[in-house]
Amino acid sequence: MPVAIELTRIITKDLDAEQVIYLKEVGGTRGFPMLIGEFEAKTIERRVKGFVPPRPMTHDLIVSIVEHLGGELQDVVITELKDQTYYARLRIRHNGELIAVDCRPSDAIAVSLCCNPRLPLYIEEDVLNDVMRYQQ
Amino acid sequence: MPVAIELTRIITKDLDAEQVIYLKEVGGTRGFPMLIGEFEAKTIERRVKGFVPPRPMTHDLIVSIVEHLGGELQDVVITELKDQTYYARLRIRHNGELIAVDCRPSDAIAVSLCCNPRLPLYIEEDVLNDVMRYQQ
């Protein structure tokens, strides 16, 4: 059963290739940090701050392509943690089917923030349990 | 009538937000530089050098989403130059229709390089004529 999560914090440092975001269970206390790339972190930070770029950026293009092809972005699910790397799926409703596209969580979260309203974020319960165990 | 073009050069500088790529008419002499963002430049440079990232990156995700939604990426057309800004369309064949999605040329070129074989690149003849006039 996936657990709803939300983005609670972003820490970006100019000279680091890896940046940190924090995700937390909605209405709960379990939370965890995730290292992500510089570009995705910048995109996420700008969107959280309400900055709308003058031109559609890469993650906006993803939203636009899905719409042009008749799909409807539904949500983001973090599905796996393996060798300290998170894996996610961007789920799209298309012709009555639910299509899950494998991607990096950072891309999926950036896409979620380019949608209005934002896409819900989830993490699989067993992945969250694993994450919490590693943190102890 | 669109003119086929190709990417001939990329100049990336670590501390610049704007990078330069050069595009040239296939089998011709007309060419021009284009300023693009740092992230797209890095993606383009890596792909041109044959570097395949261990995980699918943002532009690979675009290719994957198009495939999952039953589309087929066809080509990239640079359609406009306005106030020193280039505009492009990523063209996708879907259910027998040709769908053109507005985007930045840098994103479209990065997507083209994530495809195997690479997508052909074009520029509208009148846009190329304008560009050449500005360079004189």
Query: CA-CA distance, A60 to A54, in Å (whole number)?
Result: 12
| Interface confidence (ipTM) of the complex | 0.95
Model confidence pLDDT, tens digit, residues B121-134: 999 999 999 999 98
Can you give the pLDDT at residue A17? 74
Comparing alpha-carbon positions, the chain B residue that sits nearest to A59 is: B58
Residues with Cβ within 8 Å of A88's Cβ and at least 6 positions away in sequence, in order, are A76, A77, A78, A79, A102, A103, A104, A105, A107, A108
Asked if B102 lies within 8 A of A58 by C-beta distance, the reply is no
A56/B contact by beta carbon, under 8 A: yes
Asked if A99 lies within 8 A of B69 by C-beta distance, the reply is yes
pTM flag (> 0.90): yes
| Domain A2-135: which CATH number of 3.90.50.10, 3.10.690.10, 3.40.718.10, 3.40.50.11540 | 3.10.690.10
User: For the ranges B16-20, B31-35, B94-98, which has the lowest average pLDDT?
Assistant: B16-20
Model confidence pLDDT, tens digit, residues B38-82: 889 999 999 999 998 888 899 999 999 999 999 999 999 999 999
A35/B contact by beta carbon, under 8 A: no
Asked if A94 lies within 8 A of B69 by C-beta distance, the reply is yes
Domain ranges of chain B: 2-135
